[in-house]
């Protein structure tokens, strides 16, 4: 059991942190015994825990007793530890002491964490404020230069490794289903339905320019093939016939994704009201945010998608800043679909600090807005579905890979080969840290002038190859809600039997959840490191489990 001693204003942050690092913990109680104590307060602790970890960028009482000096640093120092690069966004201090260095800054080799061994326990002193870092990441996010680093997950892994290296038994619920490496969430933002709705407007002329001139430039740069260049030119030649109704409208078939995604499930975010640009949008292109269709114009396609088992969500216009307008937009989707527990992703990814509480007041189940428009990655530093601060029900499923971020000329403007390399980096991260990788592929990306469908199919093949559980946003959110509901009441290891007692939603999860148990077995004679035996235990809804653990049984 981990005991956490923190300031009152950190309690909500601590609770969310341990929903991500799903392991037994509680707020520190001086009458209880703990294996691990984490402290962020200045006062010294009178505890017999085997491991005490003290986080603070400022001087604490322990420093005075152990001749440890604090040297404040700028927060521009990334930290290096083993294979991890960890950006720190808040206060950071160099620790000058006789302790064993554990973490160093990347450039100047300043010591950020040191360890002290006492007769019955080990103290790790860390020169940054863990929970303040987590709060900043889950609220404001991180700059694009660090987009590829799942920073919150690195914090969790470092803490977990410190615990395991002390030979302490640890049980957790990993953020992945049994038998899979990670989750993959498929989503489609429907901004356009048919080019016929855009006669002689900026969208049509933009399409003509990108199909003719843009395709040539991309071909010369090696970013598109000759075949795609010809497809775009042919689409422009046919355009007058499309407007006359003689030729098929190549932008009208957004439900083509239903054939590509079949067997997986996915989520379609649709616009509630046509010709509404929305309010509080800055810049001279505000009117271009207005969309020429709404969900009632595509009722047949929506019915088809629902019958095939796909989810319909809201592509919101003003819900991010007004709960009243959010309710109006939500009602429009509910009436058109008959579905409940509607999720939302804002059009143009509009969002501010008040958006979570506004969206919750409007009645949304989850939000999928938090991501980058200009790049791909982990904006909030986590691979997991999380709950924003200040809400009681709304969940956030972050957006990681957006097609327009990869290929738009004014964004990353990548070739498909370079885009594949960038996506591989995110795949490597979720394979290491688990969690969810969320894709957003727009409805017109299968058609001219984009023709990004082949790349999307390739991504799906990569997800399957790496054993991802693939589905829609509501499925992911539901699974993580159940994981969050579980509370560890009792854990103990006696001999070769580990006892686990829990409470919470104990219905059998779909996909199946499991517990991961780390048991120390021996010390490596050459390195001195504690070697762990890991047991993965499938969970069928039991509230009490007795798990045999020995060297012959690797799973139970």
Query: How does pLDDT run across 229-269, given as a tens digit for each residue?
Result: 999 999 999 999 999 999 999 998 888 899 999 989 999 99
Do 74 and 138 have their domain in common?
yes
105 has a pLDDT exceeding 90: no
Residue 177 lies in a domain: no
Asked if residue 199 belongs to a domain, the reply is yes
Question: What percent of the chain shows pLDDT beyond 90?
Answer: 80
**Residue in 484, 316, 292, 477 with CA at minimum distance from that of residue 385:** 477
DSSP 287: G
| Strongest mean pLDDT among 19-28, 42-51, 61-70 | 19-28
pLDDT value at 524 more than 70: no
Residues 154 and 209 grouped into a single domain: no
Rounded to an integer, what distance in angstroms lies between the CA atom of residue 307 and that of residue 311?
10
In a domain, 413, yes or no: yes
Whether 231 and 256 map to the same domain: the answer is no
For 371-411, the pLDDT digits (tens) are: 999 999 999 999 999 999 999 999 999 999 999 999 998 89
Q: Of 538, 537, 529, 533, nearest to 519 (Cα)?
A: 533
Task: Let me know whether 350 and 202 are in one domain.
Answer: no
- On whether residue 556 sits in a domain, the answer given is no
Residue 554 located in a structural domain: no
pLDDT at 555: 38
Tell me if residue 87 falls in helix, strand or coil.
Answer: coil
Same domain as 433, residue 294: yes
Among 459, 480, 501, the domain-final residue is: 480
- For residue 444, the model assigns a pLDDT of 93
- Residue 529's pLDDT is 66
Which of 76-90, 108-122, 162-176, 271-285 is predicted least confidently?
Answer: 76-90
pLDDT of residue 551: 54
- Residue range 317-343: average pLDDT? 96
Q: Residue 533: which pLDDT band, with cuts at 50, 70 and 90?
A: confident
* Domain stop point among 443, 461, 480: 480
Task: Look at residue 553 in the predicted model and tell me its pLDDT.
Answer: 39
Residue 542 CB neighbour total at 10 angstroms: 13
The string of pLDDT tens digits covering residues 175-228 is 999 999 999 999 999 999 999 999 999 999 999 999 999 999 999 988 889 999
CATH code where residue 359 lies: 3.20.20.370
The reply to whether 439 and 543 lie within a common domain is: no
Same domain (yes/no): 37, 108: yes
- Out of 63-77, 480-494, 523-537, the most confident range is 480-494
381: left (phi over 0), alpha (psi -120 to 50) or beta: left
Alpha helices in 393-549 (DSSP H): 403-407, 416-433, 453-465, 473-485
Say if 131 falls within a structural domain: yes
Rounded Cα gap, residues 489 and 469, in angstroms: 29
Confidence (pLDDT) at 526: 60
User: How many other CB atoms are there within 10 angstroms of residue 281's CB atom?
Assistant: 17
- Measured in degrees and rounded to the nearest 5, phi and psi for residue 485 equal -70, -20
Is 518 part of a structural domain of the chain? yes
Q: Given this model, what pLDDT does residue 554 score? A: 40
- Domain assignment present for residue 379? The answer is yes
Domain count for the chain: 4
Q: Which CATH number is 150's domain given? A: 3.40.50.880
CB atoms within 10 A of CB 380: 24
Q: How high is the pLDDT of residue 525?
A: 56
Structural domain for 497, as ranges: 487-548
Q: Which of 389, 69, 452, 492 is nearest to 231 (CA)?
A: 452
Say yes or no to pLDDT of 510 above 90.
no
Q: What is the pLDDT of residue 96?
A: 94
Residue 137 pLDDT > 50, yes or no?
Answer: yes
Q: Are residues 374 and 242 in the same domain?
A: no
Q: Could you tell me if 349 and 332 lie in one domain?
A: yes
More confident residue, 121 or 389: 389
Residues 246 and 112 reside in one and the same domain: no
One domain for residues 258 and 242: no
pLDDT, residue 388, reads 98
* Boundary (domain end) residue, out of 120, 137, 172: 172
Two structure tokens written together for 312: 């319909």
Q: Tens digits of per-residue pLDDT, 2-43?
A: 999 999 999 999 999 999 999 999 999 988 999 999 999 998
User: What per-residue confidence (pLDDT) applies to 528?
Assistant: 59
Residues 154 and 116 in one domain: yes
* SS3 assignment, position 13: helix
């Amino acid at each position: 059991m981990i005991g956490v001693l923190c300031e009152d204003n950190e309690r909500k942050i601590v609770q969310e942190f341990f929903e991500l690092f799903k392991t037994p913990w509680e707020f520190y109680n001086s009458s209880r015994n703990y294996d691990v104590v984490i402290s962020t307060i200045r006062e010294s602790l009178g505890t017999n825990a085997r491991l005490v970890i003290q986080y603070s960028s400022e001087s604490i009482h322990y420093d005075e007793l152990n001749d440890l000096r604090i040297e404040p640093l700028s927060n521009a120092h990334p930290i290096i530890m083993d294979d991890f690069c960890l950006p720190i966004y808040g206060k950071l201090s160099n620790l000058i002491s006789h302790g064993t260095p554990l973490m160093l800054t990347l450039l100047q080799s300043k010591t950020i964490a040191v360890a002290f061994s006492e007769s019955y326990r080990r103290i790790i002193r860390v020169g940054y404020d863990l929970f303040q870092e987590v709060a900043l990441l889950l609220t404001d996010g991180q700059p694009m230069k660090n987009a590829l680093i799942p920073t919150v997950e690195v914090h969790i892994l470092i803490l977990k490794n410190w615990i395991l290296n002390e030979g302490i038994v640890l049980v957790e619920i990993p953020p992945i289903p049994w038998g899979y490496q990670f989750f993959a969430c498929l989503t489609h933002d429907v901004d356009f339905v048919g080019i016929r709705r855009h006669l002689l407007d900026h969208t049509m002329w933009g399409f003509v320019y990108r199909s003719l001139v843009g395709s040539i430039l991309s071909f010369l740069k090696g970013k598109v093939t000759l075949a795609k260049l010809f497809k775009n030119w042919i689409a422009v030649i046919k355009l007058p016939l499309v407007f006359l109704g003689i030729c098929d409208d190549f932008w009208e078939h957004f439900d083509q994704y239903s054939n590509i995604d079949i067997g997986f499930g996915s989520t379609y975010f649709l616009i509630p009201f046509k010709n509404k640009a929305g309010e509080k949008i800055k810049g001279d292109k505000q009117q271009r945010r207005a969309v020429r269709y709404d969900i009632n114009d595509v009722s047949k396609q929506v019915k088809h998608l629902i019958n095939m088992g796909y989810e319909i969500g809201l592509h919101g216009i003003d819900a991010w800043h007004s709960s009243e307008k959010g309710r109006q937009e939500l009602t429009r989707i509910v009436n058109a679909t008959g579905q409940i527990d509607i999720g939302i992703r804002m059009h143009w990814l509009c969002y501010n600090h008040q958006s979570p509480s506004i969206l919750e007041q409007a009645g949304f189940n989850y939000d999928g807005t938090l991501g980058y428009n200009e790049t791909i990655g982990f904006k909030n530093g986590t691979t997991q579905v999380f709950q924003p601060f200040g809400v009681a029900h709304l969940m956030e499923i972050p957006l990681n890979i957006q097609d327009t971020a990869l290929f738009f000329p004014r964004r990353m403007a990548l070739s498909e080969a370079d885009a594949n390399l960038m996506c591989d980096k995110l795949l490597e991260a979720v394979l290491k840290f688990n969690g969810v990788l969320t894709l957003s592929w727009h409805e017109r990306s299968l058609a001219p002038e984009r023709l990004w469908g082949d790349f999307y199919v390739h991504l799906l093949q990569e997800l399957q190859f790496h054993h991802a559980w693939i589905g829609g946003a509501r499925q992911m959110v539901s699974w993580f809600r159940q994981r969050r509901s579980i509370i560890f009441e009792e854990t103990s290891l006696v001999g070769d039997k580990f006892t686990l007692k829990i409470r919470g939603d104990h219905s059998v999860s779909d996909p199946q959840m499991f517990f991961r148990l780390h048991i120390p077995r021996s010390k490596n004679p050459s390195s001195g490191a504690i070697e762990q035996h890991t047991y993965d235990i499938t969970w069928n809804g039991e509230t009490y489990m007795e798990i045999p653990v020995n060297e012959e049984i690797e799973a139970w």
